Copies of this chain bind each other. A is one copy, B any other.
Amino acid sequence: MKEHLSIKKFSEFSGIETSTLRYWDGIGLFSPTMRDAENNYRYYSPAQLVSVNFIKVLSDLHISLKNINGIDRVRTPESLLNLIESHENQLDAELTKLHACYSILHTRRNLIKRGMNADPAQITVERLPEEQLVLGPPTHFVKNEGLYEPLVQFFQEAKKLRINLKYPIGGLHHSLENFLHAPGEPEHFFSLDPLGNETRKAGEYMVGYARGYYGQFGDLPDRMAAFAREKGLACHGPLYAIFLQDEICVEDPVQYLSQVFVAVKAL
C-alpha cells in the first residue's frame, strides 16, 4: 500500500474527481491496481496517471467511454493507432467547429458594440475596415409575399452551398437607387462569415441606422439620399444592410436595429 496513492491523492494529481474515478471503476473503464482486502479502499499506482490522463484526453474530445473502453480492452499499439487515426477527422471537425463558434461570437459581439456606440438618428461618413462575407444567390421577390419566400430560398441555397448560417445575415442592394426603390427587397442575402470568398473593401462609407423589423427601414432611404445630395456625395458599389440588434438581443421587433452603408466619394 505504501507504494500506492489513495483515491483523494490520485484525484488531486490527475485533476479527476473522485466520483468520476469511482464511476470509471464501476463501468470497468479504469480501475485501481489494488484494493484493500479489509475495507475495500481503492489504491492507485503513480504510473496509472499515464493511463488516466490519456483517457481524460479522449473523453475531452467527446469520444464516448464505451468507445474508449472497447479499445482499451484490446490494448495493442495497432489498435490504439487505429483509434487515434479513425477519430482524427472527428477531432478535426470538433476543433474547426469550436473555432467557428468562437468567431461567430466575436462577429456578433462586434456588431452589438457597433450598435451600442451608434446614434441611430445620425447619418455619417466613416472609414469602414475591410470585411469578408459569403454572398447568396440572387433573390426572387414575389409581389405582396414579404420576406418569407426569398429568405427560405436563401436558406435552402445556403444549405446546398454550405454557407454557414450561424453568422449574422444581411441584405445587399446593387445600388442606393435600388434600395430607395424597394428597401425591403435586397438583390442578395449574405452571411458575415469571416472565411467568406467575397470582400467588402475598406474605404469611406455613408452610414445610416434604422429601427424596425426585418425589411422595414422607415424613412432611412430618403434621408440617406437627401444626405448624399446635400453633401455632394457620389455613391458607388453595392449597398449593405445588416442587423446589429435583432431578436437575439431585443425583445420588441419594432426596436430591431439595422445598419445601412454604401461606399461614397466626394463629387
| Chain A residues at the B interface, C-beta cutoff of 8 Å | 2-3, 5, 12-14, 46-51, 53-54, 56-57, 60-61, 75-81, 84-85, 88, 91, 94-95, 97-99, 101-102, 104-105, 108-109, 112-113, 115-116, 146-148, 151-152, 155-156, 159, 165-166, 168-169, 214, 245-251
The residues of B that contact A156 with a CB separation of less than 8 Å are 13
Q: Out of B56, B105, B116, which one reaches A57, CB within 8 Å?
A: B105
Query: Once the chains are docked, how many angstroms separate the CA of A198 from the CA of B13?
Result: 23
B112 touches A57 (CB 8 A): no
Do residues B105 and A91 form an inter-chain contact, with CB atoms below 8 A?
yes
Additional pairs, 14, CB under 8 Å, beyond known A56-B166, A81-B113: A13-B159, A49-B155, A50-B168, A50-B246, A50-B247, A57-B104, A61-B101, A61-B105, A75-B250, A76-B249, A80-B112, A85-B109, A94-B98, A95-B98
Contacting residue for A151 out of B47, B54, B85, B169, CB 8 A: B47
Q: How far is the CB of A127 from chain B (nearest CB, A)?
A: 24
Known contacts A148-B46, A159-B13, A249-B76; A91/B81 CB under 8 A: no
The distance in angstroms between the C-alpha atoms of A56 and B104, with both chains bound, is 11
Name the CB-closest residue of B to A252.
B75
Q: Which 8 A-B pairs have the closest CB atoms?
A: A80-B249, A53-B166, A3-B148, A77-B249, A46-B151, A13-B155, A57-B101, A84-B109
Q: Are B101 and A84 in contact (CB under 8 A)?
A: no
- B76-A214 in contact (CB<8A): no
A76 and chain B: residue at smallest CB distance: B249
Decide: B95 and A54 in contact? CB cutoff 8 A: no
A65 to chain B, nearest CB (A): 16
Which of B13, B95, B101 is within 8 Å of A60, CB to CB?
B101
Nearest residue in B to A5 (C-beta to C-beta)?
A: B152
Which residues in B have their C-beta under 8 angstroms from that of A168?
50
A202 to chain B, nearest CB (A): 25
Contacts of A79 in B (CB 8 A): 249
Q: Which residues of B contact A98 (CB under 8 A)?
A: 60-61, 94-95, 98
